[in-house]
Amino acid sequence: MKSQRGSVTVIAVVMLLFLMIIAVAWLPMMTMEKTAASSDYREQQAWYAAEAGYKRAVAALENKNNEWWWITPENYIQTSDSMNLGHLSLDGNKVDQEKIWYAVGIMKGTLDISGTYTPEDNVAYQITSIGSCQGIRKVIRKVYTLGDNGETGGGEEGGGEEVLDLPGLIQAGGTVTITNNQAGNLNGDLYGSGFFDSSGKQFADGHTQGAYPNTLKTHIPDYVFQKGNYENLNAMPYDEWTRTLDGSKNYFWDMSDYKNNWLTIVAEKSSGMTVFVDNSKGRFIGTIKGPTAGDPVTFIFTSDIEVNAPITGNVRIFAAKDFTFDNQAAAGLIMFMSNGEMKIMGQINKGFLSSDKNMTIANQSFYGQAQVRGYFKTTGTIHFDDSVLKAKGFTVPKGMS
């Protein structure tokens, strides 16, 4: 009996040691689980805070509020400058930044909303909302078009297109200068803040109409240049000299494969299709052949671009930055729109030009219409022709401002 009692004691001690070993082994795992659960909680709360900020921004825009004391400038949003972020709690009141909070920035084009600004219908606003919980941050960034009402596939992501109806030959937010002998003999109206001929004298004839009566829409919304907003983008077919596009496909072209040689892009069957170009190289030399009928093919360039290529057919080009059409000719219906400077050195027979900064037409004739936020200057012959904006498919991105 004594030996049996001793055996039971040994077994009990062994079992106790075994349980202690398991407990010690589980302690780190339990700690990790607790840490992970805490992290998940903070991430979820940060998302809730970011969503609260975004929804508040949308509601304020829809209600056309004119008090924006709670908005954070974009430069602080970009740098995550905690000292200058407008920290707000989930109920919209000011809060200690160590707790759960959000900060929101809203931009119209390149300008921050602030002060007593009143939101405008059919304008695209970029909303950035940062949510934070105990050091973990989440960010929501979307383009919201006020007054979209779902007609173009949803206001929150931006998208869709609209008809742009402009009168006259030139609409300019700045100065119109014509340096050749057309001074005083224009066949289309000029709208702008000042009108000067080659001698530096101001125009005095009936074609100068003063400031453009409506708001110029020259800034292309940011969503147009975000690849993620385009579905079913196919890789650009590779060939060193000629790239023929399937008429039923949209394409993505990373220009890093371009060898700076003369390249022909055949898009004659690509009516209504899009080619999204990440143009790491700022110059394209070659030929662009668009559809000869129907909707245009659209090329989207994300950086400064110089196009030194004859263009035929119906073609639209949207440029995120500076755009130059070099000393070539464009035949067909042509739309060039840029958020940067625009310089046209080639001949365009039927065109529409738009620049969010300044525009120059140099040394060639131009038939069409133009709008520009800055100054307009031409050293060539210009003639009024509204064929492009009246043609099917030559609409502009919805939400321009």
- Specify the pLDDT at position 136: 80
- Specify the pLDDT at position 82: 65
Smallest Cα–Cα separation from 288: which of 256, 353, 244, 324? 244
Burial class (CB in 10 A: 0-12, 13-18, 19+), 79: exposed
Higher pLDDT, 40 or 342: 342
Phi, psi of 225 (to 5 degrees): -105, 20
pLDDT at residue 276 tops 60: yes
Smallest Cα–Cα separation from 400: which of 230, 174, 152? 152
Smallest Cα–Cα separation from 314: which of 210, 221, 395, 253? 395
Span 237-256, mean pLDDT?
Answer: 90
pLDDT at residue 186 tops 70: no
For the stretch 342-352, pLDDT in tens is 999 999 999 99
- Provide the β-strand partners of residue 250: 233
- Specify the pLDDT at position 396: 92
For the stretch 194-230, pLDDT in tens is 777 666 667 656 577 777 766 788 999 988 998 888 8
Higher pLDDT, 258 or 369: 369
The terminus-to-terminus CA distance of the chain in angstroms comes to 97
- Specify the pLDDT at position 323: 97
Residue 136 parent element (H or E): strand 136-145
For the stretch 368-384, pLDDT in tens is 999 999 999 988 788 88
pLDDT at residue 238 tops 50: yes
Task: Check if the beta carbon of residue 251 is closer than 8 Å to that of residue 236.
Answer: yes
Greatest mean pLDDT range, 7-21, 58-72, 131-145: 58-72
pLDDT at residue 325 tops 90: yes
Span 34-50, mean pLDDT?
Answer: 74
Phi, psi of 293 (to 5 degrees): -150, 160
Residue with tokens 């007609």: 151
User: pTM here?
Assistant: 0.64
- Specify the pLDDT at position 342: 97
CA angle 394, 397, 399 (to 5 degrees): 145
- Specify the pLDDT at position 97: 62
Task: Check if the beta carbon of residue 334 is closer than 8 Å to that of residue 315.
Answer: yes
Greatest mean pLDDT range, 73-82, 169-178, 276-285, 349-358: 349-358
